[in-house]
């Protein structure tokens, strides 16, 4: 499932059109593209920009392509008269528009609950809880419902999963939205979804001839839907590219690989694919450093991971550390493969995964790079050759 494109030709062409930039320019250029959701145009533009940066530094670049299924809610709601009520498609729901009456089903949507009312051709409204979403949907279908609304137990939106593709438009709403849906009222359920294959692309950069690197510097370049992902994770991407700039003409470049992972937000897709598809390279690594959310100081720079590497980072770069790490980013598949990892981060900020994630501080990214380079130097000295 992998196509390797050695970037020599495209690289030479791109060299002409791209000048070497710095962190500030990386941030301003790439933020203009918009949210970098895997598979989106902005994601591809950002990748092309960073490839050109690597190539201008004299690195080769390669694209590792992988695919995976993804379900997207493209914006779903319930219309009541002139009012539009927010809702979220249950993952696995079919798309569609249903105009019908509301039938409030007593309870959570068991077969017994459905026997108490007649939902045939109507929009059934059930409470969250007790049985899986999939059972609620199957029971609604069996009772002849044309659509389903699941009401949350809390007054916030609910991101539910059916777990299987189900031939019923199904939406989840907050408790207050649910309480406002009156029996017999005419509503229009709008479920707009896309259920398809995503093409993810990792960028791999290295100096010509380097096939067995000792250290891999990585960070994810994708972001979540509707978030510009300045801190999560343009900051980490910029750190990786800046490390490539700083080491380009040093011996460290001969010992390093740089990887910009795609599909992290969809479940570490890019890093998992990389570990799976490059077993020899991965097994030869002495260390994998991952950078995720290093542009906003919620906590001072922190590393977590393999205890020996954490100690080295503490000593060499005076940074706080803990082991093991909390997972949740691209170091995890490497750690699972037995590779010593370090996860560089500055904590979850309040704009995490929000449209307001628009700022990353170049000075904090630079300080992260300083710390990572000191740690890398010390780590490669400390780890015996041929580990």
Distances (CA, A) of 145 to 92, 97, 111, 118, 160: 17, 13, 12, 9, 19
* HSE (side-chain half, CA atoms, 13 Å) at 302: 17
Interacting residue with ligand BES among 43, 55, 190, 329 (CB under 6 A) = 329
Residues that bind Zn ion (CB under 5 A): 232-233, 292
* 267 interface partner picked from Zn ion, ligand BES, none, CB below 5 to 8 A per type: ligand BES
Residue 286 interacts with, from ligand BES, Zn ion, none (CB under 5-8 Å by kind): none
Question: Cβ distance 310 to 322 under 8 Å?
Answer: yes
Pick 267 or 279: Cβ nearer ligand BES = 267
Shortest Å distance, C-beta 70 to ligand BES: 12
With contact defined as beta carbons under 8 Å apart, do 150 and 126 qualify?
A: yes
Query: Which does residue 348 bind out of Zn ion, ligand BES, none, counting CB within 5 to 8 angstroms by kind?
Result: ligand BES
- 155 to each of 83, 133, 305, 352, how far by Cα in Å? 18, 18, 37, 21
Residue nearest to ligand BES (CB): 328
* Out of 31, 268, 317, 360, the residue judged to bind ligand BES by CB under 6 A: 268
CB 228, min distance to ligand BES, A: 14
Using the contact rule CB under 6 A, the part of the chain among 2-10, 243-251, 265-273, 308-316 near ligand BES is 265-273
Q: What single-letter DSSP state applies at residue 374?
A: H
Return the residue of 70, 88, 272, 345 that touches ligand BES, per CB under 6 A: 345
267 binds ligand BES (CB under 6 A): yes
Lay out the site mask for ligand BES across 207-246 (x = CB under 6 A, - = otherwise): -------------------------xx-------------
DSSP assignment of 3-62: -B--THHHHHHHHHH-----HHHHHHHHHTT----TTSHHHHHHHHHHHHHHHHTT-EEE
Rank residues 90 and 224 by Cβ distance to ligand BES and give the closer one.
224
Q: Percentage helix, strand, coil, to 5, in the chain? A: 35, 30, 40
Rounded distance, CA 256 to CA 47, Å?
19
Residues that bind ligand BES (CB under 6 A): 232-233, 264-265, 267-268, 292-293, 328-329, 345, 347-348
């Amino acid at each position: 499932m992998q196509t390797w494109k050695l970037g020599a030709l495209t690289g030479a062409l791109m060299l002409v059109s791209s000048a070497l930039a710095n962190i500030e320019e990386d941030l301003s250029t790439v933020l203009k593209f918009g949210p970098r959701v895997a598979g989106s145009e902005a994601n591809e533009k950002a990748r092309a920009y960073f490839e050109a940066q690597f190539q201008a530094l004299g690195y080769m670049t390669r694209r590792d392509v992988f695919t995976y299924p993804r379900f997207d809610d493209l914006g779903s709601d319930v219309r009541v008269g002139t009012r539009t009520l927010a809702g979220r498609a249950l993952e696995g729901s079919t798309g569609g528009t249903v105009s019908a009456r509301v039938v409030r089903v007593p309870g959570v949507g068991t077969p017994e609950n459905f026997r108490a009312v007649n939902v045939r051709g109507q929009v059934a409204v059930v409470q969250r809880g007790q049985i899986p979403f999939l059972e609620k949907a199957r029971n609604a279908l069996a009772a002849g419902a044309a659509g389903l609304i699941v009401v949350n137990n809390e007054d916030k939106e609910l991101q539910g999963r059916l777990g299987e593709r189900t031939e019923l438009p199904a939406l989840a709403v907050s408790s207050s939205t649910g309480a406002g849906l009156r029996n017999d009222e005419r509503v229009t359920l709008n479920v707009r979804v896309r259920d398809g294959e995503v093409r993810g692309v990792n960028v791999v950069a290295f100096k010509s001839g380097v096939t067995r690197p000792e250290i891999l510097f990585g960070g994810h370049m994708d972001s979540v839907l509707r978030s510009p992902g300045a801190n999560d994770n343009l900051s980490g991407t910029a750190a990786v590219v800046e490390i490539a700039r700083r080491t380009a003409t040093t011996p460290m470049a001969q010992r390093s690989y740089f990887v910009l992972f795609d599909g992290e937000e969809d479940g570490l897709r890019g890093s998992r694919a990389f570990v799976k598809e490059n077993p020899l390279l991965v097994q030869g690594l002495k260390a994998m450093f991952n950078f995720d959310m290093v542009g906003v100081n919620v906590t001072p720079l922190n590393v977590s991971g393999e205890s020996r590497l954490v100690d080295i980072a503490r000593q060499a770069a005076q940074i706080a550390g803990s082991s093991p790490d909390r997972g949740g980013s691209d170091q995890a598949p490497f750690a699972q493969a037995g590779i010593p990892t370090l996860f560089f981060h500055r904590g979850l900020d309040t704009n995490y995964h929000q449209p307001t994630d628009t700022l990353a501080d170049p000075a904090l990214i630079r300080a992260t790079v300083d710390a990572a380079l000191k740690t890398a130097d010390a780590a490669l000295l400390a780890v015996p050759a041929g580990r």
